[in-house]
Amino acid sequence: MKSLHILIAVLLIAGSLFAQDLEEAQSLFNDGFYEEALNITKQIVEENPQNAGANFLLGRIYFKMGELSQANTYVNKAINIDRGNQEYREISNKMRNFANLRSEAQRLESKGKYAEAVQTYEEMIQENSNYAAAYFHAARVLSFNLDKPVEGAEYLRKAMEIKPEEEKFQEMYNGITQNLLQKGITNLKRNNYSQALDNFKKVTQVDSTNFYGFYFSGLANFHNSNYEQAIEYADKVIQLNPRYIKSYMLKGKTYRATNQQQKAVEAYQAALEVDDQYADAWDKLGSVYNKMNENQKSADAYQKLIKLRPENGLAYTNLGAVYNQLEEYEKAVKYLEKATKYRSEEPIPWYRLAVAYNETGQTKKAITAASNSLNYKPNWGPALLELGKAELKEGQRSKAKVHFSQAAKDPRYESKAQFYLDKLAN
């Protein structure tokens, strides 16, 4: 008899503890601490599987956490344990209606009724603000079917907050930005700069850390002659990713377009601080120095470029031109001969080589070089002048007169050509 009394006492104590734990779990659930409530309630159910209240609460917790299958399992179990409990059945009916909303949203989506589908997903969110799947599906429809990626991303961010471990949420988030980037790049290629800018701005609205969105926004602004905005976007890229070298190149190009040559130099130098092997920066630096008449610095930059790109014919062409300007004609010949090797079917390298040959007294070679230039660009004034000068030095006065006369037909070179014609007339 004494043992029975002890057993009864133990059961009463255990029941009291279960009741206290369940009350605590209910309080946590009411306050929105679902994980904490879940841990306590699961332990109660494990120790007392026939506790209807604990099963019911566990089902409601799972529902709030968006685990619909688990929610139905435990609520139905509570109903089976306590068949007369009307509250259990009411909650079960609400869960069933929620599942019906999900089916209806999917049906609307399959019929192409995307706005109505989103509205139904929103109803689900109102019923259960922790159901991540509703945010996810609403985001997908908004982003890819209704072309509202910014609004879609807002829903997707909420889904990611609820379930940060869900990989498909992050994958779709990346997909939204990549889709917008690709659209914008396509617009750029088609010279549709305003539409490109709209897509790139959306990238930055979806993900404010996506430096590609800011870079391409800057590029679109540059092509649309919005130079101040182009610089602002390039600076934003540098803040986000100081090693993204194209942002410095964009700044350099923009400063050159606005005739701010020294700032362009600084931008290209900043690019080279990131990567001193970046050939395009040396190329642009050589060009801008040449524009500033700092020809030795220009030559030094092109020398760097040639070391990096030893088969870059344009680099040899530009370097030879700089040495012509520096009146270092022997060096000009050296590099322009290489230029004509790599760019043998272009008129400019041959013309510049003709200049260097004439200045070094190699008039026969100058005639050949100038003639080659004219083969690829007939009646080109500068090449005709160099050809005439070489022929004049070779004593071929009649040929020289013909070529000077042809050069004089170009208003840009008329005065120079006339000078030699007058010389021949005397």
Q: Where are the domains of the chain?
A: 10-84, 334-426
Predicted pLDDT of residue 18: 59
Asked whether the domain spanning 334-426 has the same topology as the one spanning 10-84, the reply is yes
Which residues of the chain, if any, have pLDDT below 70?
1-18
Give the CATH superfamily of 334-426: Tetratricopeptide repeat domain (1.25.40.10)
Predicted pLDDT of residue 34: 86
Predicted pLDDT of residue 178: 95
Predicted pLDDT of residue 20: 82
Predicted pLDDT of residue 30: 86
Predicted pLDDT of residue 35: 87
Predicted pLDDT of residue 426: 77
3-state secondary structure the chain: CHHHHHHHHHHHHHHHHHHHHHHHHHHHHHCCCHHHHHHHHHHHHHHCCCCHHHHHHHHHHHHHCCCHHHHHHHHHHHHHHCCCCHHHHHHHHHHHHHHHHHHHHHHHHHCCCHHHHHHHHHHHHHHCCCCHHHHHHHHHHHHHHCCCHHHHHHHHHHHHHHCCCCHHHHHHHHHHHHHHHHHHHHHHHCCCHHHHHHHHHHHHHHCCCCHHHHHHHHHHHHHCCCHHHHHHHHHHHHHHCCCCHHHHHHHHHHHHHCCCHHHHHHHHHHHHHHCCCCHHHHHHHHHHHHHCCCHHHHHHHHHHHHHHCCCCHHHHHHHHHHHHHCCCHHHHHHHHHHHHHHCCCCHHHHHHHHHHHHHCCCHHHHHHHHHHHHHHCCCCHHHHHHHHHHHHHCCCHHHHHHHHHHHHCCCCCHHHHHHHHHHHHC
Predicted pLDDT of residue 68: 86
In CATH terms, is domain 10-84 a member of 1.20.1250.20? no
Predicted pLDDT of residue 282: 98
Predicted pLDDT of residue 7: 38
